[in-house]
Structure 1
Amino acid sequence: MELSRGARVALRLAMALGLAVIYVPLALVLVNSFNASRSFAWPPSGLSTRWWTAAWQETGLREALYTSLKAGLGATAIAVVLGTMAAFAVTRYRFFGRQAVSFLLILPLALPGIVTGIALNAAFRTVLTPLGIGFGLFTVVVGHATFCIVVVFNNVAARLRRLAPTAEEASADLGAHTFQTFWYVTLPAVRSALFAGALLAFALSFDEIVVTTFTAGPGTQTLPLWIFDNLARPDQGPIVDVVAALLIVLSIVPVYLAQRLSGEVLR
């Protein structure tokens, strides 16, 4: 489709405006993390790295970061196992209710986080509390896994739908049993999609705050909860900027790797 010069200019301006709306606030956070002043005043009165040093010395911040890492890794591990198994079941087998199962697997990602959080809170109080299992890291991991499964499921299912079953059938014809076929034929074909799904699931879990609010116990604080609790404290403002800047930089890595891995499939 050929576009006029005016239409091309308008599209470029719209794209530039959209990118500016997304990334200018992020750039302001990055610059403010080096602001020598304690306030959020703009422009910065000077540049300094003292807030980065102060952030590293925050014991509560390090504990919150460690909790977020444990929750993200736990939720990702559950999501990889269950999401992959569900993807194989839906794409490789025909059974009654297959479309309904696929819909139910995707639904948690579409539901508002507060609805998921309230539902999980009620379920944990009803099922786990009578068993003596209180709110804590375990409930956070389970809560995050409910929506992380969707990411892994979508990535693996999309790859399996593009993967012809002829290679697996040829492996079986040559005498390989089910596990050998999976290990030497199927897994290498879906490995990059699986890895991309795991990276996105971890990133999704790491910055989740709404579901975490309803599933974390009194002594469990993830990094997003720490940021939320300290944002209103005037003396913690610069440190919150440092943490936000660090999260922006760290978030680029899994998203970039997942995008590269997904792009390999399309070439």
Structure 2
Amino acid sequence: MLRLSLGARIALGAIVAGVLAFMYVPLLLVVLNSFNEARIASWPIRGFSLQWWGAALASEPVRAAVGNSVAVGLGATAIALVLGTLVAFALQRHAFFGKQTVNLLVVLPIALPGVVTGVALNNTYNQLLEPIGIHVGYFGMIIAHGTFCIVMVFNNVLARLRRLSPNVEEASADLGATPWQTFRMVTFPQFRSAFAAGGILAFALSFDEVVVTIFTAPAGVDTLPLWIMNQMARPNEASVVNVVATVIIVLSFIPVWISQRLASERDGV
């Protein structure tokens, strides 16, 4: 066991405290400014009010942006859960020509800059599909998010499958279980936590996406990140943005808590 001197412990504690302050003090300022009665956020805060919370709750653009983000995130997550899991099983359980190439192509979208993916999909939708009468519209934005969300599920499920022993599945088959029964009662419970964790990561990645959304969102459709980006150019709307950001900060504790629970399940706690 490594033993540190008193001075080293104090220095290390100071560094950790500094890093945590750098990360969380800006979030605290956002929360405090959401209660700032001034129209234009300023520091120090001279008075507190709930007026901006009421304005945010009554704002139709905010509700529409949140609804769009949730709908796109859920759609992209559904695509990622299905395709990411299927590809993970294909690459882990089967040997075929071009296996490594398929692996590379699945992971590539997360490595590409978002602007490249956005431009490529925008050109495909506008120059290839629309001239032949296929208007992807809102669904095209969901597909665009799904292209990089698949990687989240794929990596999580593949890593878990590599650690599973095939002996349990073979025993299930020997006892007369059908392939579906074996998957439902034996295989799926063993990678369930990785499956759920990949879904959470996929939804979070989609909910937060800006660059790809700019190129693929239909005219007049804003997701929450796009709405926030547009409003930040208007100083008079900064207080409402702070309210929305505060709600997102609070809600972010939910997936973090779920991830902690999944990590405990994965470690056998």
Q: Confirm or deny a common fold (TM above 0.5).
A: yes
Instruction: Name 1:193's counterpart in structure 2.
Output: 194
Question: Size of the alignment, in residue pairs?
Answer: 267
Instruction: Name 2:4's counterpart in structure 1.
Output: 4
Instruction: Name 1:37's counterpart in structure 2.
Output: 38
Distance 1:90 1:9 in 2: 49
1:241 alignment partner AA: N
Distance 2:92 2:13 in 1: 40
Cα deviations by residue, 1:107-156 (Å, 9 ceiling, x for unpaired):
21122211211122122223321233346321110111011101111111
2:237 alignment partner AA: Q
Q: 1:2 to 1:94 in 2, by over 3 A?
A: same
SS at match of 2:142: helix
Cα deviations by residue, 1:181-204 (Å, 9 ceiling, x for unpaired):
111111111112111111111111
1:206 matched to 2:243? The reply is no
Distance 1:19 1:111 in 2: 30
Instruction: Name 2:62's counterpart in structure 1.
Output: 61
Distance 2:103 2:8 in 1: 41
Instruction: Name 2:91's counterpart in structure 1.
Output: 90
Matches within 5 A, 1:241-256: 241-256=242-257
Instruction: Name 2:179's counterpart in structure 1.
Output: 178
Distance 1:32 1:131 in 2: 50
C-alpha displacement at 1:159, in angstroms? 1.2
2:242 alignment partner AA: D
Instruction: Name 1:127's counterpart in structure 2.
Output: 128
SS at match of 2:251: helix
Unaligned 5+ residue runs, structure 2?
none
8 Å CA contact retained: 1:135, 1:217: no
SS at match of 2:78: helix
1:73 matched to 2:74? The reply is yes
Distance 2:69 2:159 in 1: 29
Cα deviations by residue, 1:155-184 (Å, 9 ceiling, x for unpaired):
111111111111111111111121111111
Cα deviations by residue, 1:200-236 (Å, 9 ceiling, x for unpaired):
1111111111110011011211111111111111221
Distance 2:142 2:44 in 1: 41
Q: 1:135 to 1:3 in 2, by over 3 A?
A: farther
Q: 1:16 to 1:98 in 2, by over 3 A?
A: farther
1:254 alignment partner AA: P
Instruction: Name 1:108's counterpart in structure 2.
Output: 109
Distance 1:129 1:18 in 2: 49
Instruction: Name 2:239's counterpart in structure 1.
Output: 238
Instruction: Name 1:145's counterpart in structure 2.
Output: 146
TM-score, normalised with respect to structure 2: 0.93
C-alpha displacement at 1:3, in angstroms? 4.0
Cα deviations by residue, 1:31-87 (Å, 9 ceiling, x for unpaired):
111111111211211121111110011111111111111101100100000001011
Instruction: Name 1:15's counterpart in structure 2.
Output: 16
Instruction: Name 1:227's counterpart in structure 2.
Output: 228
Q: 1:46 to 1:203 in 2, by over 3 A?
A: same
Instruction: Name 1:48's counterpart in structure 2.
Output: 49
Distance 1:72 1:120 in 2: 18
1:228 alignment partner AA: M
SS at match of 2:44: coil
252-261 vs 81-90, greater mean Cα deviation: 252-261
TM-score, normalised with respect to structure 1: 0.94
Distance 1:131 1:90 in 2: 35
Q: Following TM superposition, where does structure 1 have runs of at least 4 consecutive aligned residues deviating by more than 6 angstroms?
A: none
Q: 1:49 to 1:102 in 2, by over 3 A?
A: same
